[in-house]
């Protein structure tokens, strides 16, 4: 059987069926396998990056990993391998276009990774994840993540002949662990506005910048 571009013989095909079943169908869905798959994906990608890029710091490796395991990338993975047609959805989710939702697609990819781990063990799942993710691993550019997100955003805007972004702190609120900052960032010429929250203004601005870079690359 082929799934995510890989040939696999299952010991328990029920795991694959569960991995492809969205929560809108009922109680027997892919949420628990998704939890497991998220963990194995992060471990496999972390190990691969650690072994491949000895020159990168912990922070740089973390930023590189986040680009590979985020929902947007996993949705790309699902579309690349035409996974959407295999996902089982409830009627309400079908009507709302669930098969095209990035969150639904990304969750299913993680659930499949979890199912492979349960069915075949870690060593096999490690090879499976690496094979699935190889096209995205091949596109990794360590030079990009060495720039902080705000600097990277500024470069992207300048290359496109656009004005600099405008950051605005719209809320500061007391939370359990200190103060939480809510920041907006706007690129008016593209009519783009994003928002992020963090425990410092700088972190919130950096998170906004990352979101905008993704939108501009789209």
Confidence of residue 164 (pLDDT cuts 50, 70, 90): very high
Q: Which residue, 190, 172, 145, 5, is CA-closest to 86?
A: 5
Separation CA 71–CA 193 (nearest Å): 20
Q: Indicate whether 109 pLDDT > 70.
A: yes
Beta strands 178-187; 192-198: pairing state: antiparallel
pLDDT of residue 218: 66
Catalytic residues: 38, 110
Average model confidence (pLDDT) for the chain? 91
pLDDT in tens, 13-34: 999 999 999 989 888 899 999 9
pTM confidence score? 0.71
pLDDT in tens, 58-96: 878 888 898 899 888 999 999 999 999 999 998 888 877
Q: Which residue, 203, 212, 215, 217, is CA-closest to 164?
A: 212
The CA R_g of the chain, rounded to the nearest whole Å, is 19
């Amino acid at each position: 059987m082929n799934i995510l571009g890989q040939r696999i013989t299952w010991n328990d095909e029920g795991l694959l069926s569960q991995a492809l079943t969205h929560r809108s169908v009922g109680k027997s869905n892919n949420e628990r396998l998704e939890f497991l798959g998220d963990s194995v994906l992060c471990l496999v990608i972390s190990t691969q990056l650690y072994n491949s890029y000895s020159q990168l710091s912990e922070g740089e490796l973390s930023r590189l990993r986040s680009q590979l395991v985020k929902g947007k990338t996993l949705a790309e993975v699902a579309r690349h391998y035409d996974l959407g047609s295999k996902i089982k959805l409830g009627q309400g989710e079908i009507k709302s276009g669930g098969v095209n939702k990035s969150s639904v697609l990304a969750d299913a990819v993680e659930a499949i990774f979890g199912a492979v781990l349960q069915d075949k063990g870690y060593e096999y799942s490690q090879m499976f994840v690496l094979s699935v993710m190889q096209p995205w691993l091949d596109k990794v550019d360590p030079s990009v993540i060495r720039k902080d997100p705000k600097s990277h955003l500024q470069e992207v805007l300048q290359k496109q002949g656009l004005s600099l972004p405008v950051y605005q702190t719209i809320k500061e609120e007391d939370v359990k662990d200190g103060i939480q900052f809510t920041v907006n960032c706007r690129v008016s010429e593209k009519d783009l506005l994003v928002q992020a929250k963090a425990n410092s203004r700088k972190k919130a601005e950096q998170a906004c910048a990352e979101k905008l870079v993704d939108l501009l690359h789209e």
